A and B are shown apart, each in its own frame.
Chain A
Amino acid sequence: MKLNLKIWRQKGPDSTGGFETYMVEADEHMSFLEMLDVLNEQLIHEKKEPVAFEHDCREGICGTCNMVIDGRPHGPQQGTTTCQLHMRAYKDGDTITIEPIRAKSFPIIKDLAVDRSSFDRIIQAGGYISVNTGQAPDANAIPIEKDQSSRAFDAATCIGCGACVAACPNGSAMLFTAAKISHLALLPQGKVEHTKRTSKMVAQMDKEGFGMCSNVEACEVECPKEISTDNIARMNRSFLGSIFGSEG
């Protein structure tokens, strides 16, 4: 299939960017990133600079790839990262617009690559259980109800890709932050520090310049791991609890 690509090109963080148009020949079995590989090989062959985009595992779990395709983070398919999106979702002659995530807290590095280190700093603010190596009791000492553990897991599947921020009109990181808070809060091991953790992580989120929750829930729709906005409700309850002193 022949495709027209409109891709955002930007030399560096302080340069002005703009769309460039390219033609590429693709195969329906290719992944979206393999289609971009073909374009880049073409550009290198023409001695031009390839399109910078970030990627690594190409199996939907590392969270490195993160572009916005026709206005949607990771493209048109529900529950799918860009690397898992395959070209059978497109047809001959389609025009595809590809741009970086646009959010104040994710500055553009070059072309489609953005800086998401703000996510790391939110985790560093308290997204962990304070246990040193060697301090653990036997793993079966505390039974955890299967459904409860499963809900913790659902929140823990976040891959830190930033699609939630890209989807939100306010560029909010509520879903990312809430997923980690929920994951830990739902487990007995994480309960101990829960209130303190919530207030520290929320404070860091604000400090990084992420916006307030827009309540449109686009984050849940675009999340490649389909993490629920219920987690945001849980975070809000415990954040209020951390202020007013009631159990979250």
Chain B
Amino acid sequence: MSLESNVPKGALAEKWTNYRSKMNLVAPNNKRRIEVIVVGTGLAGASAAATLGELGYKVKCFTFHDSPRRAHSIAAQGGINAAKNYQNDGDSIYRLFYDTIKGGDYRSREANTHRLAEISLEIIDQAVAQGVPLAREYGGLLANRSFGGVQVSRTFYARGQTGQQLLLGAYQALSRQISNGSVVMHNRHEMLDLVKVDGKARGIITRNLLTGKLERHAAHCVVLATGGYGNVFYLSTNAMMSNVSAAWRSVKKGALMANPCYTQIHPTCIPVSGEYQSKLTLMSESLRNDGRVWVPKNMEDVMAIREGKLKPTDIKEEDRDYYLERRYPAFGNLVPRDVASRAAKIATDEGKGVNKTGLAVFLDFEAAIQRYGNSEAISKGIANPSKDMIRKMGKEVVKQKYGNLFQMYEKITGDNPYETPMKIYPAVHYTMGGVWVDYNLQTNVPGLFALGEANFSDHGANRLGASALMQGLADGYFVIPYTIGQFLADEIRTPMIDNNSEEFVEAEKAVAERIDQILSIKGDQSVESFHRRLGKIMWEYCGMSRNAEGLNKGIQMIKDLRAEFYRDVFVPGREDDFNPELEKALRVADFLEMGEIMMADALNRNESAGGHFRSEYQSEEGEAQRNDADYAYVAAWSWDEGGNHQLHKEDLVFENVELKTRSYK
């Protein structure tokens, strides 16, 4: 299968503007009779459904949550990038584009990434107009902060709750369209299959999670905004219900899963505390603006800390290894996520981990508390302030910036991070891979679109901080409302799609049979136990570091686990009832296939790039080594019902950026 990216011709900076001006349009009278299904109500889905509704399309929107406001975008903490250059520090659209391409280790599409940088400006305008209370300076203008992998301050934020505020903005816009009838909202409906008619995506099969009833929903096209697949690892910063099923079911109907091995392991999460653990909690990357990462230099100190004989604050300055500052002087603690995570792994692999399990490093705010305290003393004109006074004022400044994060940390760990350094460790956070889409965000199945984290397109092999919110909203507010017209302009004569056609009836029947099959296994092991075991296999063989031997082993283990699942899983309850265990079983069944394709992709990619680190391919200094000659392509995988997968390639063409070794030193 040849994959056509459909990137428009012309100069990079003019592609989107020119393309947009010449695109096919759908007249208002036709929009009124064209139906669009949007699945998912996170930043991408809610913004898309709201905007398509405003344009006059008949939108049907679906979420498995009890309300559109619960989507996991709500938990994003740190911020959203935009090349506004309000700080006059040298930012520009080109620089945001370049940072993103470089940050992604040259594995994303130039034209998509440039469009994202262009649109970033409009997103901030839109959010403020909706009443999103972004942080402000005393003069009343918007504030910015820095994030990893960049040397300008372009991140807009709303305390440590940026995702919440932006999602509520999109949710309110969506609510407005629901109230005027442009969008019909289906809460607590989970998509369990895609329906194709004559090769085009024309609808979905959903399960009403309250009654268990299967429903057939038809439309002229289908938009997936269903998030990432990080929960394949069981432990991740994703919400408990985040899953890959909508995307994976679409792959089984002919869409392609692109670059599934590109997973982001976030460097600053609260470490695992025990076997019962159900999820991991992120501590925003923004903390690395002021927090310094370190481990003790001497093993005696490490052991003394683990045994509780020494406190971290007892370790003298000269006995600490601020390893990010040492290895990467130019970016220091603000290196990109993949680099920071690997460095933490190297430190703990050397035995320097600072908690009982040996899997934690320190993130220390004392220097920032002192710095802010001193500067407050000067600005308040306090001569000879006492040490206590400096710490008190410094802590107050830190509290204003990160108060809710510090509070969250204390609630979970019982430690007070104002007085002792945080303990952190990398955890699965975001998936750069996703459903393959072209420049129009259309998959290889005509009429099927994928937005936000669910697609693969803009972040390459590693996503920079504060870029996920930007991409979700760019796709939903400003890309799909235009590009969907390229498909729909040819559909204006297509009558309403009939949800009683053979294709719909067949698809519903297949879903019913799948549910029946899982319920009738009546084995002895819980869904949760299978999910946990899958997660361990993924983390061990497809986590922060991978190699061919481990991946081959992992693939076999997943196949065996999948066979065991279909032999011995026990799902209590009935299909025609509110049954969270059944929901979970269907999601885990899909993860058991997704995990295999991730490993196959990781095995195929004989290079290290961004979040994909193959231990066979590294420099003498332990940095990732790409192979541009052989692997500068998007790996898009098909998967048939028999579990056979096949690789399809889209070569990445770089016309504007020179491919370099990524250096943050």
Task: Decide yes or no whether B570 CB sits under 8 A from chain A.
Answer: yes
- For the complex, is B187 an interface residue (Cβ under 8 Å from A)? yes
Q: When A109-B210, A146-B140 are in contact, do A58 and B478 touch as well, CB less than 8 Å?
A: no
Q: In the bound complex, do residue A146 and residue B126 qualify as a contact, i.e. CB atoms below 8 Å apart?
A: no
Q: Does B278 contact A (CB under 8 A)?
A: yes
Taking a contact as CB atoms closer than 8 A, the residue among B125, B210, B239 that contacts A139 in the complex is B125
Chain B residues, Cβ within 8 Å of A130: 176
B140 lies within 8 A of A145 (CB): yes
Determine whether the beta carbon of B241 is less than 8 Å from that of A127.
Answer: no
Contact with A44, one of B125, B126, B136, B526 (Cβ below 8 angstroms): B526
B80 to chain A, nearest CB (A): 11
Chain A proximity mask over B241-274: 1 for CB below 8 Å, otherwise 0: 1000000000000000000000000000000011
Listed A/B pairs (7) with beta-carbon separation below 8 Å = A29-B273, A31-B412, A58-B278, A116-B66, A130-B176, A136-B122, A139-B134
Interface SS of A by simple majority: loop
Identify the closest chain A residue to B481 (Cβ).
Answer: A133
Task: Report whether B528 and A64 are in contact in the complex, using a CB–CB cutoff of 8 Å.
Answer: no
* Interface residue stretch chosen among B156-164, B360-368, B542-550: B156-164
Q: Is the CB of A187 within 8 A of B411?
A: no
| Given A117-B66, A139-B125, A187-B131, also A30-B75 (CB < 8 A) | no
Closest to A114 in B: B66
Which one of A12, A33, A64, A143 lies within 8 Å of B70 (CB-CB)? Answer: A64
User: Complex: how many Å from CA A142 to CA B128?
Assistant: 10
Q: Given the known A-B contacts A120-B67, A133-B173, are A62 and B74 also in contact in the complex, defined by CB atoms under 8 Å?
A: yes
- Residue from A37, A43, A126 in contact with B276 in the complex, judged by beta carbons closer than 8 Å: A37
Q: Check A131 for interface membership: any CB of B closer than 8 A.
A: yes
In the complex, A43→B570 CA distance in Å? 12
B495 within 8 A of A: no
Interface flags, B125-150, vs A, CB<8A=1, else 0: 11111110111111111100000000
- Give which listed residue, B172, B529, B581, contacts A127 with CB less than 8 A: B172
B411's partner among A34, A84, A126, A132 (CB-CB below 8 A) is A84
Closest 3 CB pairs of A and B: A143-B140, A136-B129, A128-B172
| B142–A140 touching, CB < 8 Å | yes
Residue A27 at the B interface, CB < 8 A? yes
Given the interface pairs A44-B526, A117-B67, A153-B158, the reply to whether A123 lies near B477 with Cβ below 8 Å is no
- Report the minimal beta-carbon distance from B190 to chain A, rounded to whole angstroms: 13
> Contact at A143–B171, with CB atoms within 8 Å?
no
Are the C-beta atoms of A56 and B241 separated by less than 8 Å? yes
> Smallest CB-CB separation from B413: which chain A residue?
A29
Q: Whole-angstrom distance from the CB of B405 to the nearest CB of chain A?
A: 11
User: Do A47 and B572 touch across chains, with their CB atoms under 8 A apart?
Assistant: yes
Distance A237 CA – B481 CA, assembled complex (angstroms): 40
- Closest chain-B Cβ to A211's Cβ sits at a distance in Å of 21
Per the bound structure, the CA–CA distance linking A55 and B239 in Å amounts to: 9
B496 cross-chain contacts in A, Cβ below 8 A: none
CA distance A33 to B278 in the complex (A): 9
B residues within 8 A CB of A31? 278, 412
- Chain B's nearest CB lies how many Å from the CB of A54? 7
A154, closest chain B residue (CB): B133
Give complex CA distance A143, B138 in Å: 10
Which chain B residue shows the least CB distance to A42?
B526
A196, CB-defined interface residue at 8 Å:
no
The segment from B47-55, B380-388, B483-491 found at the interface with A is: B47-55
Contacting B at CB under 8 A, from A139-187, are 139-140, 142-146, 149-150, 152-153, 156-157, 159-160, 183-184, 187
- By beta carbon, the residue of chain A nearest B240 is A56
Contact A55 B140 (CB under 8 A): no
Contacts of B129 in A (CB 8 A): 129, 131, 135-137, 189
- CB 8 Å contact bits of A78-98 with B (1 = contact, 0 = none): 011000101010000000000
On whether the beta carbons of B276 and A34 are closer than 8 Å, the reply is yes
Closest residue on chain B to residue A128 by CB atoms? B172
Question: Could you tell me if B175 and A63 are in contact, using CB atoms closer than 8 angstroms?
Answer: no
Measured in the bound complex, the distance between the Cα atoms of B64 and A64 in whole Å is: 12
The answer to whether B140 touches A50 (Cβ under 8 A) is no
Residues of the B chain whose Cβ atoms lie less than 8 Å from the Cβ of A109? 210, 578
**B277 on the A face (CB < 8 A):** yes
Do A88 and B414 touch across chains, with their CB atoms under 8 A apart? Answer: yes
Chain A residue numbers with a CB within 8 Å of B68 are: 120
CB distance from A213 to the nearest CB of B (A): 24
Assembly CA distance A145 to B528 (angstroms): 49
List residues of A (19-63) whose CB comes within 8 Å of B's CBs: 27, 29-31, 33-34, 37-38, 41, 43-45, 47-50, 52, 54-63
A38 touches B276 (CB 8 A): yes
Since A29-B274, A63-B70, A189-B130 are in contact, a sample of 17 more A-B pairs with Cβ atoms closer than 8 Å, ordered by chain A residue number, is A33-B278, A34-B276, A41-B528, A56-B240, A61-B161, A64-B66, A64-B70, A110-B578, A117-B187, A124-B178, A129-B131, A134-B478, A139-B84, A139-B124, A160-B67, A187-B133, A189-B131
Q: How far is the CA of A37 from the CA of B531 in the complex (A)?
A: 14
A50, B133: Cβ atoms closer than 8 Å: no
What count of chain A residues pass the 8 Å CB interface test? Answer: 78
Residues of chain A at the chain B interface (Cβ within 8 Å): 12, 27, 29-31, 33-34, 37-38, 41, 43-45, 47-50, 52, 54-64, 79-80, 84, 86, 88, 109-110, 113, 115-117, 119-120, 123-140, 142-146, 149-150, 152-153, 156-157, 159-160, 183-184, 187, 189-190
Residues of B556-592 contacting chain A, CB below 8 A: 570, 572-573, 577-578, 580-581
- B86: A residues at CB distance < 8 A: 140
A12–B210 CA distance with the chains assembled, in angstroms: 10
- A52 with B580, Cβ < 8 A, contacts A57-B72, A128-B172, A144-B136 known: yes
Q: Which of A29, A49, A127, A184 contacts B175 (CB 8 A)?
A: A127
Residue of A nearest to B237 (CB): A59
Q: Specify which chain A residues have a CB less than 8 angstroms from the CB of B276 in the assembled complex.
A: 27, 30, 34, 37-38
Pair A124/B578 contact, Cβ less than 8 Å = no
Q: Please tell me if the beta carbons of B140 and A144 are within 8 angstroms of each other in the complex.
A: yes
- Asked whether, in the complex, the Cβ of A131 is within 8 Å of the Cβ of B133, the reply is no
A84 touches B126 (CB 8 A): no
B240 & A160 in contact (Cβ 8 Å cutoff): no
Instruction: Give chain B residues whose Cβ lies under 8 Å from the Cβ of A117.
Output: 66-67, 187
Whether the pair B581, A44 counts as a contact (CB closer than 8 A) is yes
- Closest chain B residue to A45, Cβ basis: B526
Residue among B54, B171, B178 making CB contact with A132, cutoff 8 Å: B54
Q: Taking the complex as formed, is B196 at the interface, i.e. its CB lies under 8 A from any CB of chain A? A: no
Is B171 a contact of A123 with CB atoms below 8 Å?
A: yes
Is there an interface contact between B176 and A128, defined as CB atoms closer than 8 Å?
yes
Q: How far is the CA of A183 from the CA of B171 in the complex (A)?
A: 15
Kindly report which residue of chain A lies nearest to residue B273, judged by CB atoms: A29
B333 contacts A by Cβ under 8 Å = no
Q: Which residues of A contact B74 (CB under 8 A)?
A: 57, 61-62
Chain B residues within 8 Å of A145, by CB: 140
Please report the C-alpha to C-alpha distance between residue A138 and residue B274 in the assembled complex, in whole angstroms: 49
Contact A136 B125 (CB under 8 A): yes
Partner of B240, one of A50, A55, A139: A55
Min distance, Cβ B176 to any Cβ of chain A, angstroms: 5
B2 at interface, CB cutoff 8 A? no
Contact of A120 among B133, B187, B408, B477 (CB under 8 A): B187
B154 interface contact, C-beta 8 A: no
Instruction: Write out the residue numbers on chain A whose beta carbons fall within 8 Å of the beta carbon of B67.
Output: 116-117, 119-120, 160
Minimum Cβ distance to chain A for residue B174 (Å) = 9
